[in-house]
Amino acid sequence: MLDAGPWMWALFFIEFASYGQMLPFQILRVSALKAEKNSEQLPSYRRKCRLVGGQVPLVDVYIPCCGEPLEIIVGTVRGACLIDFPQHRFAVHVLDDGNSLDLRKTVEELRIQWPNLHYHYRGLHDSGFDKAGNLNHLLLNEPRSTPVPEFITVLDADFIPAPDLLRAGLAHLVTDPTLAIVGTLQMYYNLPPGDPLYQGLEWYSAVLTPQLNALGAAVASGSGCIIRRDPLVALGGFPTLTSGEDMILSYALGASGHRIIQLTEPLQYGRVPESMQGHMFQRKRWSVSLAQRIRAWKDAPRNPIPASRRTSVMLEGVVHILTLFFRTVEFVVLPLLLLTGQPLIPAPHLGMLKVQLAMATLYLLLLYATEYVQAFRADFRVSIFPHLEEAWMAPGQLLAIIQKCFSQSNSSQSQVTGSTSHAWNRDIPDRRASSEIAINAISLLATLAGAISHIPTILGQSYSSSDGKGVVTLLSTIAYPPMLHLVYTCSTTHWIPLRAYLYPPRYPALLTALGPHPRDPGALFPTKAVRERLVSARRPALGHRRHFLAIGGLFGCVCAVIFAFTP
């Protein structure tokens, strides 16, 4: 019987958790490849088509806001009014939860040029359910003139639409009555060079979105999507079950027999938080909304998801929480495993050790090859293991979810990315953000110290014994291939916030990233250079400073030791 001590079981737990995080994405990847292979024609989400002429349907454009800087909101409002669409066929509605007198006055001034522009404030008596409540106030409660617009477009207050947004999205909706939502990618014009914090969401846009599209399971983002009004109203409006109304809406409509696609061309340009604290708070809010999918299991008036889909949505919330938990545990357990200096794999004799090492090495070679093929298929818009880009925030996100569960306060206003009501947009130091960066620094230093601490022991055994004991110790501790993999992924993950702290990202100034709007020099739009940079941005094919070559060389050395020097 194998003698597996507690530290061996701890390593097994971490390996199992690491693979468990990748398993859903690997299943999704294989399923999407099969779907693409069986497709006989170019999928609709890849077709670039436009609605032409003046015979177009009526559209409402909703812009929810709450406390964002006035110039940001006005930039979005101007961009919406300048959409290439007959002015009498669409209306722009500013839904202000912040009750800004300056914004109200500015909208009234802009109405002189664009009479199809309107301002709305729902009041304190009806200010519940965050952004979804703000949208529903106009959708369900405001008196409407006839005919009622057939489609609705939602734009976040800090997203400037491309002039052809409506013509691009409606071209799909009017030709396919089964479509309920056409989403568009979220591009960010103020990304710093190199995007060191991975704020551009390239993994979502370049990897997950095409896969979900291929499987008919696309999820439309909350900004830049065009929605068919009738199924939305039949659903009861925008879902208030969680703070992620866009995701729940996609689930509910998809489970009701409607189709959703996400276009792969850039049709809107937004902003990312320009501070470490802002980025972390934004991701915490998103993480909380993902965890809130657990509520889908409960039969409640606010739950629009059909019973047949509730269990799977609930399980997605459970998996998200478990993923954060496993990543947080890894922060602590991995350094301890290295610092103990104990053997990490059960091997009653050297023959079994060699078999385990060979199988582990083969698994990792296949894993890295699969990840590299994925990066290649995405044209290197992502690198390997992109699902770990935000793993360094796991402890903070898990804490935010716990605090949300026990918190009695519930923000009722429509707060989105640019809102000054959010801490992430205030220029003040945040102790919690600093503590999370410190946690990553401590975990990284402990991991490296644990790895280095093995060197004296291994060298001592090698000099004092000629029976290969030092090599065996090396291969059963720090050089055990899965351990090397974990040290690499964890170290690179911990380095992300530290690099951004030591070398702060340089976000472009507003007037540097924006230039004259193509339809009105008085309005702003991302410059051609910025738009081209967003489309052409790539990660190094061989990793930062070509370190993939070093990884390959390291694994090659381990393989040589396994097959040449192990007795």
Report yes or no: 523 and 476 within 8 Å, Cβ to Cβ.
no
**Tally of structural domains, the chain:** 2
Q: What is the DSSP letter of 96?
A: E
What pLDDT does 426 receive? Answer: 46
pLDDT of 46 reads 74
Across the range 274-303, mean pLDDT stands at: 92
pLDDT of residue 467: 59
For residue 1, pLDDT beyond 50? no
The tens digit of pLDDT for each residue in 396-451 reads 999 999 998 876 554 444 455 444 444 444 444 467 788 999 999 999 999 999 88
- When mean pLDDT is compared across 218-232, 385-399, 454-468, the lowest value belongs to 454-468
Percent of the chain with pLDDT over 90: 65
Residue 425: per-residue pLDDT: 44
Q: Are 413 and 421 contacting, i.e. CB atoms less than 8 angstroms apart? A: yes
Higher pLDDT, 281 or 4: 281
Q: What is the token pair recorded at 532?
A: 């081209």
Residue 466's pLDDT band (boundaries 50, 70, 90)?
Answer: low
For residue 105, tell me if it sits in a domain: yes
**CA distance between the termini of the chain:** 22
Kindly state whether residues 253 and 368 are assigned to the same domain. no
Residue type at 444 in one-letter notation:
L
pLDDT value of position 129: 79
Residue 113 sits in the same domain as residue 214: yes
* pLDDT at residue 295, rounded to an integer: 93
Whether residue 449 is contained in a domain is answered as yes
Does residue 298 sit within a domain? no
Q: How does pLDDT run across 386-409, given as a tens digit for each residue?
A: 999 999 999 999 999 999 887 655
Query: At a CB cut-off of 8 Å and minimum separation 6, what does 204 contact?
Result: none
Q: Do residues 121 and 209 share a domain?
A: yes
pLDDT at 408: 53
pLDDT at 165 over 80: yes
Q: Residue 213 burial (CB < 10 Å; 0-12/13-18/19+)?
A: buried
For residues 51 and 110, what is the distance between their CA atoms, to the nearest angstrom?
27
Are the C-beta atoms of 482 and 364 separated by less than 8 Å?
yes
Helix (H, G, I), strand (E, B) or coil at 388: helix
132 and 22 belong to one structural domain:
no
Q: CA 417 to CA 188: how far, in whole Å? A: 12
- Convert the pLDDT of each residue in 467-482 to its tens digit: 567 777 788 888 889 9
- Alpha-carbon torsion angle 440, 445, 446, 447, nearest 10: 90
DSSP-derived secondary structure letter, 259: E
Return the structure tokens found at 500. 């951004």
Mean pLDDT score, 218-230:
93
Residue 23 shares a structural domain with residue 65: no
**pLDDT value at residue 300:** 85
Same domain, yes or no: 349 and 470:
yes
Max mean pLDDT among 13-17, 179-183, 559-563 falls in 179-183
Residue 413 within a domain: yes
Closest among 35, 54, 46, 10 to 344, alpha carbons compared: 10
Q: What is the DSSP letter of 566?
A: -
Would you call the peptide bond into 147 cis, given omega within 30 degrees of 0 as the criterion? yes
Q: With H, G, I as helix, E, B as strand and everything else as coil, classify residue 153.
A: strand
pLDDT digits (tens, 9 = 90+) for 248-260: 999 999 999 999 9
215 belongs to a structural domain: yes
Q: Write out the DSSP string of 39-53.
A: --S--GGG------S
Whole-number Å distance between alpha carbons of 289 and 266: 25
**Do 12 and 63 belong to one domain?**
no
473 and 348, same structural domain?
yes
Residue 263 in 3-state DSSP? strand
What pLDDT sits at residue 420? Answer: 44
Output b/e per residue, 547-566; b: 16+ Cβ within 10 A. Answer: ebeebeeebeebbeebeeeb
Alpha-carbon distances, residue 448 vs 344, 394, 486, 491 (angstroms): 17, 20, 12, 8
In the listed set 228, 255, 272, which residue is the last one of a domain according to the structure?
Answer: 272
Note the pLDDT of residue 419.
47
- Structure confidence at residue 409 (pLDDT): 52
Whether 297 maps to a domain, the answer reads: no
Residues 526-565: tens digit of each pLDDT: 999 999 999 999 999 998 888 888 888 888 887 787 776 5
Confidence band of 126 (pLDDT split at 50, 70, 90): low
Highest mean pLDDT among 126-130, 139-143, 354-358: 354-358
Considering the domain architecture, whether residues 381 and 430 belong to the same structural domain is answered as yes
Task: Choose one of 272, 288, 310: the last residue of a domain.
Answer: 272
Taking the C-alpha atoms of residue 540 and residue 423, their distance in angstroms, rounded to an integer, is: 34
Q: Are residues 468 and 389 in the same domain?
A: yes
CA 525 to CA 311: how far, in whole Å? 43
274 touches 417 (CB < 8 A) = no
Q: 252 and 195, same structural domain? A: yes
Task: Specify the pLDDT at position 428.
Answer: 43
Rounded to the nearest angstrom, the gap between the alpha carbon of residue 71 and the centroid of all alpha carbons in its chain is 27
Angle, helix 350-377 to helix 547-565, in steps of 10 degrees:
160
Mean pLDDT of 78-84: 98
What number is the average pLDDT over the span 140-159? 88
Q: Where residue 177 sits, what CATH number does that domain have?
A: 3.90.550.10
% of the chain with per-residue pLDDT over 70: 90
Pair (11, 76) in one structural domain: no
Please indicate whether residue 85 or residue 353 has the higher confidence score (pLDDT).
85
In a domain, 307, yes or no: no
Q: How far, in Å, CA of 314 to CA of 226, rounded?
A: 26
| Domain with 484 in it | 6-28+325-505+537-565
- Dig out the tokens for 563 from the structure: 């097959």
Summary mean pLDDT of the chain? 88
Section 126-151 average pLDDT: 84
- pLDDT grade, residue 3 (50/70/90)? low
The region that residue 374 occupies, defined by phi over 0 for left and psi between -120 and 50 for alpha, beta otherwise, is: alpha
Let me know if residue 341 belongs to a domain: yes
Pairing label, strands 117-120, 225-228: unpaired
Res 434: pLDDT: 86
- Find all residues with CB under 8 Å of 446, minimum gap 6, and list them: 335, 338, 339
Look at residue 465 in the predicted model and tell me its pLDDT. 60
Q: What is the mean pLDDT of residues 39-45?
A: 65
Whole-angstrom Cα distance, residue 361 to residue 356? 8
The structure tokens 């938080």 sit at: 273
Higher per-residue confidence, 367 vs 46: 367
Q: Is residue 225 predicted with pLDDT exceeding 60?
A: yes
Task: Please state which of the ranges 115-124, 204-213, 380-389, 408-417 shows the lowest mean pLDDT.
Answer: 408-417
Which of helix, strand or coil describes residue 128?
coil
Which residue among 243, 272, 301 closes a domain?
Answer: 272
